[in-house]
């Protein structure tokens, strides 16, 4: 292994990335377990999964707005110093907001058939409370303390590097998740809608190169160019990011639960039908409840249609 691939060494206790990982280890393990459980559930329901993609569009869009501001319009000494750090490891291959839009064009194709319609939806979408608070905090933190952008750069982008391949593997195993998209097969749709998790079209080796380039540049830039107080603040914000991730995912779950339970609707029946496909672990009692709900809905649906034409 070359020298550049060993920076920072996993045993380098002075490396900011290693310090972040050490201080957030418990939160990291907690959210891994939490997200695995939630993702296994969301993967059964395309309408819920894509809400998560929408949420992370706003998160990464906010981060990249602040990165662009620092790189293109630095206005203070602190901004200029952080700009110099970013220039040592940031490159366009890491940008995710554009990739998320590409995925959303597939996932929301039935509702928003053109790029302009989708953008209008994103521009006018009312963010749920927790998501809005997280987005606002990103802007507030970075504009007040520019060095905090380094927390978001480490935690969220490296999480995608590490987990992206796992996510894509899960998506391939659930290729029925996505809607039809023109003449494309389900597998082709999945390939079109996983840009969020893809950092290079040239394969795993090139993604590994980008990952190590990112980590090496991040470490060399932050080791001497940040004060100890600034490093501690970056670590604190990194811990907060894990909590915010859990809260915005939980919020998506609460919103869907309220909508499903609020009225007996087609959406509820679609939800029950999708759950039935993955019902191997359901108890006999729960299976009976699902069957009963579907039968009742069919009766109500037929009655409603008959009333219209008789």
User: Largest Cα–Cα distance of the chain, in whole Å?
Assistant: 80
User: Is residue 23 annotated as involved in ligand binding?
Assistant: no
Within 10 angstroms of residue 222's Cβ, the number of other Cβ atoms is: 24
Could you tell me which of 85, 83, 92, 120 has the C-alpha nearest to residue 104? 120
The structure tokens 């006018």 sit at 124
- The answer to whether the beta carbons of residues 107 and 46 sit under 8 Å apart is yes
Within 10 angstroms of residue 154's Cβ, the number of other Cβ atoms is: 24
Within 10 angstroms of residue 128's Cβ, the number of other Cβ atoms is: 16
- C-alpha 161/C-alpha 222 separation (Å) is 20
Question: Taking CA 231 as the corner, what is the angle to CA 229 and CA 236, rounded to the nearest 5 degrees?
Answer: 95
- Distances in Å between the Cα of 109 and the Cα atoms of 31, 39, 185, 267, 289 are 31, 22, 15, 18, 33
Burial of 189 from C-beta contacts in 10 A (0-12 / 13-18 / 19+): buried
Annotated binding-site residues for heme b read: 28
Annotated binding-site residues read: 28
């Amino acid at each position: 292994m070359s020298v550049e691939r060993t920076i920072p060494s996993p045993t380098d206790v002075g490396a900011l990335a290693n310090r972040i990982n050490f201080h957030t280890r418990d939160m990291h393990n907690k959210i891994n377990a939490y997200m695995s459980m939630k993702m296994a559930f969301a993967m059964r329901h395309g309408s819920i999964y894509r809400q998560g993609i929408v949420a992370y569009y706003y998160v990464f869009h906010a981060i990249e707005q602040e990165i662009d501001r620092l790189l293109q319009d630095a206005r203070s000494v602190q901004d200029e110093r952080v700009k110099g750090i970013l220039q040592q490891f940031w490159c366009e291959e890491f940008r995710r907001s554009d990739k998320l839009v590409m995925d959303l064009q597939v996932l929301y194709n039935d509702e928003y058939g053109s790029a302009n319609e989708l953008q209008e939806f994103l521009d006018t979408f009312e963010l749920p409370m927790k998501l809005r608070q997280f987005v606002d905090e990103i802007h507030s933190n970075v504009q007040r303390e520019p060095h905090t952008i380094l927390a978001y750069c480490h935690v969220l982008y490296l999480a995608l590097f590490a987990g992206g391949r796992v996510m894509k593997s899960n998506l391939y195993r659930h290729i029925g998740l996505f809607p039809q998209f023109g003449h494309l097969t389900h597998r082709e749709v999945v390939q079109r809608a996983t840009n969020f998790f893809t950092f290079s079209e040239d394969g795993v080796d090139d993604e590994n190169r980008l990952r190590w380039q990112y980590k090496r540049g991040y470490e060399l830039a932050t080791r001497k160019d940040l004060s100890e107080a600034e490093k501690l603040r970056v670590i604190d914000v990194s811990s907060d990011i894990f909590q915010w991730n859990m809260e915005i995912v939980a919020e998506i779950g609460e919103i869907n639960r309220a909508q499903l339970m609020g009225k007996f609707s087609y959406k509820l029946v679609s939800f029950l039908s999708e759950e039935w496909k993955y019902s191997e672990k359901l108890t006999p009692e729960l299976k009976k409840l699902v069957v009963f709900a579907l039968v009742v809905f069919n009766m109500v649906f037929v009655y409603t249609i008959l009333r219209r034409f008789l």
